[in-house]
Chain A
Protein backbone atom coordinates (compact mmCIF):
# COMPACT_ATOMS: atom_id res chain seq x y z
CA UNK A 1 0.00 0.00 0.00
CA UNK A 2 1.49 3.33 -1.09
CA UNK A 3 1.44 6.53 0.91
CA UNK A 4 -1.29 7.98 -1.34
CA UNK A 5 -3.55 5.00 -0.76
CA UNK A 6 -3.00 5.30 2.97
CA UNK A 7 -3.82 9.00 2.81
CA UNK A 8 -6.98 8.36 0.81
CA UNK A 9 -8.01 5.67 3.27
CA UNK A 10 -7.43 7.98 6.23
CA UNK A 11 -9.42 10.78 4.62
CA UNK A 12 -12.15 8.34 3.73
CA UNK A 13 -12.41 7.02 7.29
CA UNK A 14 -12.30 10.46 8.91
CA UNK A 15 -14.77 12.00 6.46
CA UNK A 16 -17.06 8.97 6.63
CA UNK A 17 -16.95 9.00 10.41
CA UNK A 18 -17.75 12.71 10.45
CA UNK A 19 -20.67 12.21 8.05
CA UNK A 20 -22.09 9.43 10.19
CA UNK A 21 -21.69 11.58 13.31
CA UNK A 22 -23.56 14.41 11.61
CA UNK A 23 -26.29 12.03 10.49
CA UNK A 24 -26.64 10.59 13.99
CA UNK A 25 -26.58 13.95 15.76
CA UNK A 26 -29.12 15.49 13.40
CA UNK A 27 -31.32 12.47 13.84
CA UNK A 28 -31.12 12.44 17.62
CA UNK A 29 -32.20 16.08 17.54
CA UNK A 30 -34.96 15.76 15.00
CA UNK A 31 -36.30 12.41 16.19
CA UNK A 32 -37.44 14.26 19.31
CA UNK A 33 -39.35 16.63 17.03
CA UNK A 34 -40.76 13.67 15.08
CA UNK A 35 -41.82 12.04 18.33
CA UNK A 36 -43.48 15.15 19.73
CA UNK A 37 -45.35 15.87 16.53
CA UNK A 38 -46.55 12.29 16.01
CA UNK A 39 -47.60 11.90 19.64
CA UNK A 40 -49.31 15.28 19.59
CA UNK A 41 -51.37 14.46 16.52
CA UNK A 42 -52.30 11.07 17.95
CA UNK A 43 -53.61 12.91 21.00
CA UNK A 44 -55.40 15.60 18.99
CA UNK A 45 -52.86 18.29 19.82
CA UNK A 46 -50.57 20.31 17.62
CA UNK A 47 -47.25 19.78 19.37
CA UNK A 48 -44.47 22.37 19.12
CA UNK A 49 -45.65 25.25 16.92
CA UNK A 50 -43.93 28.47 18.01
CA UNK A 51 -40.21 28.02 17.34
CA UNK A 52 -39.86 28.33 13.60
CA UNK A 53 -42.30 27.08 10.99
CA UNK A 54 -44.48 24.48 12.73
CA UNK A 55 -41.89 24.33 15.50
CA UNK A 56 -39.13 23.11 13.21
CA UNK A 57 -36.44 24.88 15.23
CA UNK A 58 -37.66 23.40 18.52
CA UNK A 59 -34.85 20.76 18.76
CA UNK A 60 -32.24 23.50 18.33
CA UNK A 61 -33.90 25.61 20.99
CA UNK A 62 -33.99 22.64 23.34
CA UNK A 63 -30.35 21.90 22.65
CA UNK A 64 -29.34 25.50 23.34
CA UNK A 65 -31.34 25.55 26.53
CA UNK A 66 -29.69 22.38 27.83
CA UNK A 67 -26.28 23.65 26.78
CA UNK A 68 -26.57 26.80 28.86
CA UNK A 69 -28.09 25.20 31.93
CA UNK A 70 -26.14 24.90 35.14
CA UNK A 71 -24.26 21.65 35.56
CA UNK A 72 -25.00 20.28 39.02
CA UNK A 73 -23.03 17.46 40.61
CA UNK A 74 -24.52 16.24 43.90
CA UNK A 75 -22.11 16.71 46.81
CA UNK A 76 -22.38 13.07 47.90
CA UNK A 77 -21.98 11.69 44.38
CA UNK A 78 -19.03 9.65 43.23
CA UNK A 79 -17.63 12.39 41.01
CA UNK A 80 -15.53 10.43 38.53
CA UNK A 81 -18.20 7.82 37.88
CA UNK A 82 -20.91 10.48 37.78
CA UNK A 83 -19.07 12.35 35.02
CA UNK A 84 -18.15 9.22 33.08
CA UNK A 85 -21.64 7.70 33.12
CA UNK A 86 -23.28 9.84 30.38
CA UNK A 87 -20.28 9.30 28.11
CA UNK A 88 -20.44 5.55 28.67
CA UNK A 89 -24.00 5.70 27.41
CA UNK A 90 -23.30 7.98 24.49
CA UNK A 91 -20.07 6.72 22.94
CA UNK A 92 -21.04 3.06 22.29
CA UNK A 93 -24.37 4.24 20.88
CA UNK A 94 -22.60 6.48 18.36
CA UNK A 95 -19.72 4.27 17.27
CA UNK A 96 -21.98 1.35 16.46
CA UNK A 97 -23.21 3.28 13.39
CA UNK A 98 -19.87 2.58 11.70
CA UNK A 99 -21.12 -0.75 10.35
CA UNK A 100 -24.62 0.26 9.26
CA UNK A 101 -24.91 -0.18 5.47
CA UNK A 102 -26.95 2.83 4.37
CA UNK A 103 -26.52 2.06 0.70
CA UNK A 104 -24.50 -0.02 -1.75
CA UNK A 105 -21.23 0.92 -3.38
CA UNK A 106 -21.30 3.63 -6.01
CA UNK A 107 -18.58 4.84 -8.36
CA UNK A 108 -17.09 8.33 -8.19
CA UNK A 109 -14.23 9.26 -10.53
CA UNK A 110 -13.30 5.64 -11.02
CA UNK A 111 -13.22 4.88 -7.31
CA UNK A 112 -15.68 2.57 -5.64
CA UNK A 113 -17.11 4.28 -2.60
CA UNK A 114 -19.36 2.26 -0.30
CA UNK A 115 -22.11 4.00 1.65
CA UNK A 116 -20.95 2.38 4.86
CA UNK A 117 -17.84 2.95 6.88
CA UNK A 118 -16.91 -0.67 7.52
CA UNK A 119 -18.05 -4.06 6.32
CA UNK A 120 -16.81 -6.32 9.05
CA UNK A 121 -17.05 -10.06 9.04
CA UNK A 122 -18.68 -9.72 12.45
CA UNK A 123 -20.74 -6.54 12.01
CA UNK A 124 -23.76 -7.87 13.83
CA UNK A 125 -21.74 -9.04 16.82
CA UNK A 126 -20.02 -5.65 16.88
CA UNK A 127 -23.39 -3.90 17.12
CA UNK A 128 -24.66 -6.29 19.79
CA UNK A 129 -21.46 -5.96 21.81
CA UNK A 130 -21.70 -2.18 21.77
CA UNK A 131 -25.39 -2.13 22.53
CA UNK A 132 -24.74 -4.23 25.62
CA UNK A 133 -22.33 -1.49 26.73
CA UNK A 134 -25.27 0.90 27.02
CA UNK A 135 -26.27 -0.70 30.31
CA UNK A 136 -23.07 0.58 31.93
CA UNK A 137 -23.96 4.22 31.48
CA UNK A 138 -27.28 3.57 33.18
CA UNK A 139 -25.91 1.51 36.06
CA UNK A 140 -23.03 3.92 36.64
CA UNK A 141 -25.40 6.89 36.65
CA UNK A 142 -27.77 5.14 39.01
CA UNK A 143 -25.09 4.15 41.46
CA UNK A 144 -22.92 7.27 41.42
CA UNK A 145 -25.82 9.68 41.95
CA UNK A 146 -26.15 8.41 45.52
CA UNK A 147 -29.93 8.63 45.35
CA UNK A 148 -32.34 5.77 45.87
CA UNK A 149 -34.56 6.69 42.95
CA UNK A 150 -31.59 6.75 40.62
CA UNK A 151 -30.27 3.46 41.99
CA UNK A 152 -33.64 1.74 41.63
CA UNK A 153 -33.95 3.04 38.09
CA UNK A 154 -30.47 1.86 37.23
CA UNK A 155 -31.09 -1.61 38.66
CA UNK A 156 -34.37 -1.98 36.85
CA UNK A 157 -32.90 -0.81 33.61
CA UNK A 158 -29.91 -3.11 33.68
CA UNK A 159 -31.94 -6.18 34.58
CA UNK A 160 -34.36 -5.31 31.79
CA UNK A 161 -31.61 -4.83 29.23
CA UNK A 162 -29.95 -8.11 30.19
CA UNK A 163 -33.21 -10.07 30.02
CA UNK A 164 -34.32 -8.75 26.66
CA UNK A 165 -30.89 -8.96 25.09
CA UNK A 166 -31.25 -12.73 25.17
CA UNK A 167 -34.60 -12.80 23.37
CA UNK A 168 -33.24 -10.25 20.87
CA UNK A 169 -30.12 -12.27 20.18
CA UNK A 170 -32.11 -15.46 19.71
CA UNK A 171 -34.54 -13.77 17.32
CA UNK A 172 -31.54 -12.66 15.25
CA UNK A 173 -30.15 -16.19 15.05
CA UNK A 174 -33.00 -17.38 12.84
CA UNK A 175 -32.26 -14.47 10.46
CA UNK A 176 -28.58 -15.38 10.47
CA UNK A 177 -29.47 -18.98 9.65
CA UNK A 178 -31.23 -17.77 6.52
CA UNK A 179 -28.54 -15.39 5.30
CA UNK A 180 -25.53 -17.38 6.48
CA UNK A 181 -23.42 -14.36 7.38
CA UNK A 182 -22.77 -11.98 10.25
CA UNK A 183 -21.91 -9.13 7.89
CA UNK A 184 -24.71 -6.59 7.58
CA UNK A 185 -23.83 -5.95 3.93
CA UNK A 186 -24.12 -9.65 3.11
CA UNK A 187 -27.42 -9.90 4.99
CA UNK A 188 -28.79 -6.98 2.96
CA UNK A 189 -27.62 -8.51 -0.30
CA UNK A 190 -29.26 -11.81 0.61
CA UNK A 191 -32.62 -10.02 0.72
CA UNK A 192 -32.51 -8.64 -2.82
CA UNK A 193 -35.02 -9.61 -5.49
CA UNK A 194 -38.51 -11.03 -5.33
CA UNK A 195 -39.44 -13.54 -2.70
CA UNK A 196 -42.62 -15.30 -1.72
CA UNK A 197 -45.15 -15.72 -4.54
CA UNK A 198 -43.07 -13.40 -6.69
CA UNK A 199 -45.00 -10.39 -5.38
CA UNK A 200 -43.58 -9.72 -1.96
CA UNK A 201 -39.95 -8.68 -1.75
CA UNK A 202 -37.49 -11.22 -0.42
CA UNK A 203 -37.23 -9.55 2.98
CA UNK A 204 -36.72 -11.52 6.13
CA UNK A 205 -39.81 -10.03 7.72
CA UNK A 206 -41.97 -12.15 5.40
CA UNK A 207 -39.99 -15.35 5.97
CA UNK A 208 -39.45 -14.75 9.69
CA UNK A 209 -42.51 -12.90 11.02
CA UNK A 210 -42.17 -14.43 14.49
CA UNK A 211 -38.55 -13.36 14.75
CA UNK A 212 -39.51 -9.87 13.61
CA UNK A 213 -42.19 -9.50 16.29
CA UNK A 214 -39.79 -10.75 18.98
CA UNK A 215 -37.16 -8.34 17.72
CA UNK A 216 -39.65 -5.48 17.72
CA UNK A 217 -40.69 -6.08 21.33
CA UNK A 218 -37.13 -6.71 22.48
CA UNK A 219 -35.82 -3.61 20.72
CA UNK A 220 -38.35 -1.44 22.49
CA UNK A 221 -37.49 -3.02 25.82
CA UNK A 222 -33.75 -2.70 25.12
CA UNK A 223 -34.04 1.02 24.57
CA UNK A 224 -36.22 1.44 27.69
CA UNK A 225 -39.10 2.94 25.76
CA UNK A 226 -42.80 2.88 26.60
CA UNK A 227 -44.49 0.51 27.36
CA UNK A 228 -41.24 -0.86 28.81
CA UNK A 229 -39.99 2.42 30.28
CA UNK A 230 -39.93 1.15 33.85
CA UNK A 231 -36.44 2.51 34.55
CA UNK A 232 -37.88 6.00 34.36
CA UNK A 233 -41.40 5.36 35.56
CA UNK A 234 -42.27 8.89 36.69
CA UNK A 235 -44.90 7.95 39.22
CA UNK A 236 -42.57 5.52 41.02
CA UNK A 237 -39.06 6.77 40.48
CA UNK A 238 -39.32 10.50 39.65
CA UNK A 239 -37.20 10.12 36.53
CA UNK A 240 -35.13 7.02 37.12
CA UNK A 241 -31.39 6.80 36.68
CA UNK A 242 -30.86 10.35 35.40
CA UNK A 243 -32.81 12.13 38.14
CA UNK A 244 -29.69 13.86 39.52
CA UNK A 245 -28.37 14.98 36.16
CA UNK A 246 -28.83 18.41 34.68
CA UNK A 247 -27.79 20.49 31.70
CA UNK A 248 -25.54 18.92 29.10
CA UNK A 249 -24.97 15.70 31.03
CA UNK A 250 -28.71 15.11 31.04
CA UNK A 251 -28.74 15.87 27.32
CA UNK A 252 -26.10 13.18 26.78
CA UNK A 253 -28.44 10.57 28.24
CA UNK A 254 -31.22 11.88 26.07
CA UNK A 255 -29.04 11.72 22.97
CA UNK A 256 -27.85 8.23 23.87
CA UNK A 257 -31.45 7.07 24.19
CA UNK A 258 -32.37 8.40 20.76
CA UNK A 259 -29.14 7.16 19.19
CA UNK A 260 -29.88 3.71 20.60
CA UNK A 261 -33.39 3.80 19.19
CA UNK A 262 -31.99 4.86 15.84
CA UNK A 263 -29.50 2.00 15.99
CA UNK A 264 -32.06 -0.70 16.75
CA UNK A 265 -34.21 0.74 13.96
CA UNK A 266 -31.27 0.60 11.55
CA UNK A 267 -30.65 -2.98 12.59
CA UNK A 268 -34.29 -3.87 12.07
CA UNK A 269 -34.22 -2.33 8.60
CA UNK A 270 -31.08 -4.22 7.66
CA UNK A 271 -32.08 -7.55 9.16
CA UNK A 272 -35.79 -7.70 8.48
CA UNK A 273 -36.86 -4.97 6.07
CA UNK A 274 -34.36 -5.57 3.31
CA UNK A 275 -31.90 -2.76 4.05
CA UNK A 276 -31.29 -0.60 0.99
CA UNK A 277 -33.30 -2.87 -1.31
CA UNK A 278 -36.14 -0.90 -2.93
CA UNK A 279 -39.72 -1.09 -1.66
CA UNK A 280 -40.98 -0.54 -5.20
CA UNK A 281 -38.72 -2.29 -7.69
CA UNK A 282 -36.84 -0.19 -10.22
CA UNK A 283 -38.68 -1.86 -13.09
CA UNK A 284 -41.99 -0.39 -11.88
CA UNK A 285 -40.57 3.13 -11.98
CA UNK A 286 -39.10 2.64 -15.41
CA UNK A 287 -42.56 1.75 -16.74
CA UNK A 288 -43.89 5.19 -15.81
CA UNK A 289 -42.96 7.70 -18.50
CA UNK A 290 -41.69 11.10 -17.44
CA UNK A 291 -40.14 9.94 -14.21
CA UNK A 292 -36.80 9.91 -15.97
CA UNK A 293 -36.04 6.44 -14.64
CA UNK A 294 -35.89 7.50 -11.02
CA UNK A 295 -33.92 10.48 -9.94
CA UNK A 296 -32.27 10.04 -6.62
CA UNK A 297 -29.34 10.61 -4.37
CA UNK A 298 -26.00 10.05 -6.12
CA UNK A 299 -27.65 8.26 -8.99
CA UNK A 300 -29.09 5.57 -6.81
CA UNK A 301 -32.08 5.98 -4.50
CA UNK A 302 -31.10 3.01 -2.31
CA UNK A 303 -30.22 5.37 0.55
CA UNK A 304 -33.67 6.91 0.42
CA UNK A 305 -35.31 3.52 0.63
CA UNK A 306 -33.21 2.81 3.69
CA UNK A 307 -34.17 6.08 5.32
CA UNK A 308 -37.88 5.69 4.52
CA UNK A 309 -37.85 2.24 6.12
CA UNK A 310 -35.89 3.59 9.07
CA UNK A 311 -38.46 6.25 9.89
CA UNK A 312 -41.32 3.86 9.25
CA UNK A 313 -39.89 1.47 11.81
CA UNK A 314 -39.22 4.32 14.20
CA UNK A 315 -42.85 5.32 13.84
CA UNK A 316 -43.78 2.06 15.61
CA UNK A 317 -41.89 3.23 18.69
CA UNK A 318 -43.96 6.41 18.82
CA UNK A 319 -47.17 4.58 18.06
CA UNK A 320 -46.64 2.17 20.95
CA UNK A 321 -45.70 4.98 23.28
CA UNK A 322 -48.87 6.89 22.49
CA UNK A 323 -51.08 3.80 22.72
CA UNK A 324 -49.95 1.39 25.39
CA UNK A 325 -49.83 1.74 29.18
CA UNK A 326 -46.68 0.82 31.07
CA UNK A 327 -46.14 -2.77 32.16
CA UNK A 328 -45.62 -3.78 35.77
CA UNK A 329 -42.15 -5.03 36.66
CA UNK A 330 -43.18 -8.66 37.18
CA UNK A 331 -45.14 -8.62 33.93
CA UNK A 332 -42.06 -7.35 32.14
CA UNK A 333 -39.87 -10.15 33.48
CA UNK A 334 -42.54 -12.74 32.81
CA UNK A 335 -42.92 -11.60 29.21
CA UNK A 336 -39.18 -11.61 28.63
CA UNK A 337 -38.27 -14.93 30.19
CA UNK A 338 -41.41 -17.04 30.00
CA UNK A 339 -42.88 -16.03 26.65
CA UNK A 340 -40.34 -14.40 24.35
CA UNK A 341 -37.40 -16.66 25.17
CA UNK A 342 -39.25 -19.98 24.53
CA UNK A 343 -40.93 -18.58 21.42
CA UNK A 344 -37.57 -17.42 20.04
CA UNK A 345 -36.05 -20.83 20.75
CA UNK A 346 -38.98 -22.60 19.07
CA UNK A 347 -38.60 -20.28 16.10
CA UNK A 348 -34.96 -21.31 15.69
CA UNK A 349 -35.99 -24.96 15.83
CA UNK A 350 -38.71 -24.49 13.21
CA UNK A 351 -36.35 -22.50 10.98
CA UNK A 352 -33.79 -25.26 11.24
CA UNK A 353 -36.30 -27.97 10.37
CA UNK A 354 -37.71 -26.04 7.41
CA UNK A 355 -34.26 -25.21 6.08
CA UNK A 356 -33.17 -28.84 6.32
CA UNK A 357 -36.21 -30.04 4.36
CA UNK A 358 -36.04 -27.31 1.72
CA UNK A 359 -32.38 -27.89 0.97
Chain B
Protein backbone atom coordinates (compact mmCIF):
# COMPACT_ATOMS: atom_id res chain seq x y z
CA UNK B 1 0.00 0.00 0.00
CA UNK B 2 2.72 2.41 1.08
CA UNK B 3 4.85 1.26 -1.82
CA UNK B 4 2.04 1.78 -4.29
CA UNK B 5 1.23 5.27 -3.01
CA UNK B 6 4.91 6.11 -3.21
CA UNK B 7 5.17 4.87 -6.75
CA UNK B 8 2.10 6.81 -7.87
CA UNK B 9 3.53 9.98 -6.31
CA UNK B 10 6.97 9.58 -7.86
CA UNK B 11 5.61 8.59 -11.27
CA UNK B 12 3.16 11.50 -11.35
CA UNK B 13 5.84 14.04 -10.48
CA UNK B 14 8.19 12.54 -13.07
CA UNK B 15 5.59 12.78 -15.82
CA UNK B 16 4.53 16.30 -14.83
CA UNK B 17 8.13 17.50 -14.69
CA UNK B 18 8.91 15.88 -18.02
CA UNK B 19 5.95 17.69 -19.55
CA UNK B 20 7.12 20.95 -18.01
CA UNK B 21 10.58 20.41 -19.47
CA UNK B 22 9.27 20.23 -23.03
CA UNK B 23 6.65 22.95 -22.72
CA UNK B 24 8.59 25.78 -21.00
CA UNK B 25 9.43 28.70 -23.25
CA UNK B 26 12.59 29.54 -21.37
CA UNK B 27 15.24 26.82 -21.79
CA UNK B 28 16.69 27.59 -18.35
CA UNK B 29 13.35 26.73 -16.77
CA UNK B 30 13.27 23.54 -18.82
CA UNK B 31 16.63 22.51 -17.43
CA UNK B 32 15.58 23.40 -13.88
CA UNK B 33 12.48 21.21 -14.16
CA UNK B 34 14.73 18.27 -14.89
CA UNK B 35 16.12 18.59 -11.39
CA UNK B 36 13.00 17.39 -9.49
CA UNK B 37 12.59 14.82 -12.25
CA UNK B 38 15.97 13.26 -11.48
CA UNK B 39 15.29 13.36 -7.75
CA UNK B 40 12.05 11.47 -8.19
CA UNK B 41 13.70 8.91 -10.45
CA UNK B 42 16.15 8.43 -7.59
CA UNK B 43 13.15 8.00 -5.30
CA UNK B 44 11.86 5.15 -7.46
CA UNK B 45 15.30 3.54 -7.33
CA UNK B 46 15.21 3.71 -3.53
CA UNK B 47 11.81 2.01 -3.52
CA UNK B 48 13.38 -0.75 -5.60
CA UNK B 49 16.06 -1.20 -2.90
CA UNK B 50 18.72 0.19 -5.21
CA UNK B 51 20.16 2.89 -2.95
CA UNK B 52 23.52 2.96 -4.69
CA UNK B 53 21.94 3.61 -8.08
CA UNK B 54 19.72 6.29 -6.51
CA UNK B 55 22.70 8.12 -5.02
CA UNK B 56 24.68 7.86 -8.24
CA UNK B 57 21.65 9.05 -10.19
CA UNK B 58 21.57 12.25 -8.16
CA UNK B 59 25.35 12.62 -8.00
CA UNK B 60 26.01 12.12 -11.71
CA UNK B 61 22.88 13.31 -13.48
CA UNK B 62 21.61 16.03 -11.20
CA UNK B 63 24.96 17.02 -9.72
CA UNK B 64 27.24 17.00 -12.74
CA UNK B 65 25.49 16.63 -16.09
CA UNK B 66 22.64 19.02 -15.37
CA UNK B 67 25.06 21.65 -14.11
CA UNK B 68 26.84 21.51 -17.45
CA UNK B 69 23.51 21.69 -19.29
CA UNK B 70 22.58 24.73 -17.27
CA UNK B 71 25.93 26.27 -18.08
CA UNK B 72 25.50 25.83 -21.80
CA UNK B 73 21.90 27.01 -21.84
CA UNK B 74 22.71 30.06 -19.74
CA UNK B 75 25.54 31.11 -22.01
CA UNK B 76 23.59 30.65 -25.23
CA UNK B 77 21.53 33.46 -26.60
CA UNK B 78 18.11 32.32 -25.56
CA UNK B 79 16.21 35.31 -26.86
CA UNK B 80 16.00 33.78 -30.35
CA UNK B 81 14.66 30.54 -29.00
CA UNK B 82 11.96 32.34 -27.06
CA UNK B 83 10.24 34.14 -29.93
CA UNK B 84 9.83 31.06 -32.08
CA UNK B 85 6.28 29.70 -31.86
CA UNK B 86 5.91 26.34 -30.17
CA UNK B 87 3.02 25.06 -32.28
CA UNK B 88 3.35 25.47 -36.02
CA UNK B 89 2.71 23.96 -39.41
CA UNK B 90 5.08 21.07 -38.87
CA UNK B 91 2.78 19.79 -36.14
CA UNK B 92 0.38 18.48 -38.79
CA UNK B 93 3.07 15.93 -39.67
CA UNK B 94 4.74 15.33 -36.36
CA UNK B 95 1.70 15.02 -34.11
CA UNK B 96 0.06 12.07 -35.95
CA UNK B 97 3.44 10.34 -36.21
CA UNK B 98 4.09 10.71 -32.49
CA UNK B 99 0.59 9.56 -31.59
CA UNK B 100 0.94 6.48 -33.81
CA UNK B 101 4.23 5.53 -32.20
CA UNK B 102 2.69 6.07 -28.77
CA UNK B 103 -0.20 3.83 -29.79
CA UNK B 104 2.25 1.06 -30.72
CA UNK B 105 4.00 1.48 -27.39
CA UNK B 106 0.73 1.18 -25.46
CA UNK B 107 -0.31 -1.84 -27.51
CA UNK B 108 2.95 -3.64 -26.73
CA UNK B 109 2.87 -2.68 -23.04
CA UNK B 110 -0.67 -3.98 -22.66
CA UNK B 111 0.18 -7.35 -24.23
CA UNK B 112 3.46 -7.90 -22.41
CA UNK B 113 3.99 -10.22 -19.50
CA UNK B 114 6.16 -9.04 -16.64
CA UNK B 115 6.96 -12.29 -14.86
CA UNK B 116 10.69 -12.60 -15.34
CA UNK B 117 12.73 -15.24 -13.56
CA UNK B 118 14.21 -14.27 -10.22
CA UNK B 119 17.96 -13.69 -10.23
CA UNK B 120 20.41 -14.50 -7.44
CA UNK B 121 20.31 -10.95 -6.03
CA UNK B 122 17.03 -10.92 -4.18
CA UNK B 123 16.15 -8.13 -1.75
CA UNK B 124 17.30 -10.26 1.19
CA UNK B 125 20.59 -11.15 -0.49
CA UNK B 126 21.32 -7.53 -1.34
CA UNK B 127 20.48 -6.45 2.21
CA UNK B 128 22.87 -9.02 3.59
CA UNK B 129 25.94 -8.19 1.51
CA UNK B 130 25.18 -4.50 1.21
CA UNK B 131 23.96 -2.55 -1.75
CA UNK B 132 27.17 -1.02 -3.06
CA UNK B 133 29.11 -4.22 -2.32
CA UNK B 134 26.66 -6.23 -4.42
CA UNK B 135 27.01 -3.86 -7.37
CA UNK B 136 30.79 -3.83 -7.02
CA UNK B 137 31.00 -7.61 -6.97
CA UNK B 138 28.89 -8.02 -10.09
CA UNK B 139 30.49 -5.11 -11.91
CA UNK B 140 34.03 -6.33 -11.42
CA UNK B 141 33.40 -10.03 -12.11
CA UNK B 142 30.56 -10.78 -14.51
CA UNK B 143 30.45 -7.42 -16.23
CA UNK B 144 34.11 -6.49 -16.15
CA UNK B 145 34.51 -6.43 -19.93
CA UNK B 146 31.46 -4.24 -20.68
CA UNK B 147 32.50 -1.99 -17.80
CA UNK B 148 35.98 -1.50 -19.26
CA UNK B 149 34.54 -0.95 -22.75
CA UNK B 150 32.28 1.75 -21.31
CA UNK B 151 35.25 3.50 -19.73
CA UNK B 152 37.20 3.39 -22.99
CA UNK B 153 34.24 4.92 -24.81
CA UNK B 154 34.09 7.70 -22.23
CA UNK B 155 37.83 8.24 -22.59
CA UNK B 156 37.45 8.56 -26.36
CA UNK B 157 34.70 11.13 -25.87
CA UNK B 158 36.93 13.07 -23.47
CA UNK B 159 39.87 13.04 -25.86
CA UNK B 160 37.55 14.16 -28.64
CA UNK B 161 36.25 17.06 -26.59
CA UNK B 162 39.77 18.17 -25.70
CA UNK B 163 40.92 17.99 -29.33
CA UNK B 164 37.92 20.08 -30.42
CA UNK B 165 38.43 22.66 -27.70
CA UNK B 166 42.20 22.93 -27.96
CA UNK B 167 43.70 25.91 -29.75
CA UNK B 168 45.60 25.16 -32.93
CA UNK B 169 49.36 25.19 -32.40
CA UNK B 170 50.71 26.67 -35.59
**A contact residues vs B (CB 8 Å cutoff):** 78, 80-81, 84, 120-122, 125-126, 128-130, 132-133, 135-136, 139-140, 143, 151, 155, 158-159, 162, 165, 181-182
**Residues of chain B in range 61-105 having any CB-CB distance to chain A below 8 Å:** 62-64, 67-68, 70-71, 74-75
Q: Which residue of B lies closest to A186 (CB)?
A: B130
Please, how many angstroms separate the alpha-carbon atoms of A50 and B58 in the complex? 46
Q: Is the CB of A81 within 8 A of B29?
A: yes
Interface of B is mostly: helix
Chain B residues with Cβ below 8 Å from A130 are: 58
The minimal Cβ–Cβ distance linking B40 to chain A, given in whole angstroms, is 14
Min Cβ gap A127→B in Å is 9
Residue of B nearest to A84 (CB): B32
Q: Looking at the complex, which one of A80, A84, A135 makes contact with B67 (CB distance below 8 Å)?
A: A135
- CB–CB B32/A126 < 8 A: no
Flag if B67 contacts A136 (CB, 8 Å): yes
CB-based contact B32/A121 at 8 Å: no
Q: Which residues of B contact A120 (CB under 8 A)?
A: 51
**CA–CA, A182 to B51, complex, Å?**
12
Q: Does B151 contact A (CB under 8 A)?
A: no
A180: nearest chain-B partner, CB-CB: B133
Chain B interface size band reads 20 to 34
Residue from the list B58, B70, B75 in contact with A129, Cβ < 8 A: B58
- Tell me, yes or no, whether B23 is within 8 Å of chain A by CB: no
User: What is the bound-complex CA distance between A181 and B75, given in angstroms?
Assistant: 40
Contacts of B62 in A (CB 8 A): 129, 132-133
Interface flags for B97-131 (1: CB within 8 Å of A; 0: not) read 00000000000000000000000000000000011
Could you jot down 18 A-B contacts, CB within 8 Å?
A78-B28, A81-B28, A81-B29, A120-B51, A121-B51, A121-B52, A121-B131, A128-B55, A129-B56, A133-B58, A133-B63, A139-B74, A143-B74, A155-B71, A158-B67, A162-B64, A162-B68, A181-B130
Contact with A along B118-148 (1 / 0, CB 8 A): 0000000000001110000000000000000
Contact status of A122 and B67, CB under 8 A, knowing A129-B58, A133-B62, A139-B74: no
Residue of B nearest to A88 (CB): B35
The 8 Å CB contact of A158, one of B29, B32, B71, is B71
B131 near A81: Cβ-Cβ < 8 Å: no
Contact string against A for B residues 33-56, beta-carbon threshold 8 Å, 1 for contact and 0 otherwise: 001000000000000000110111
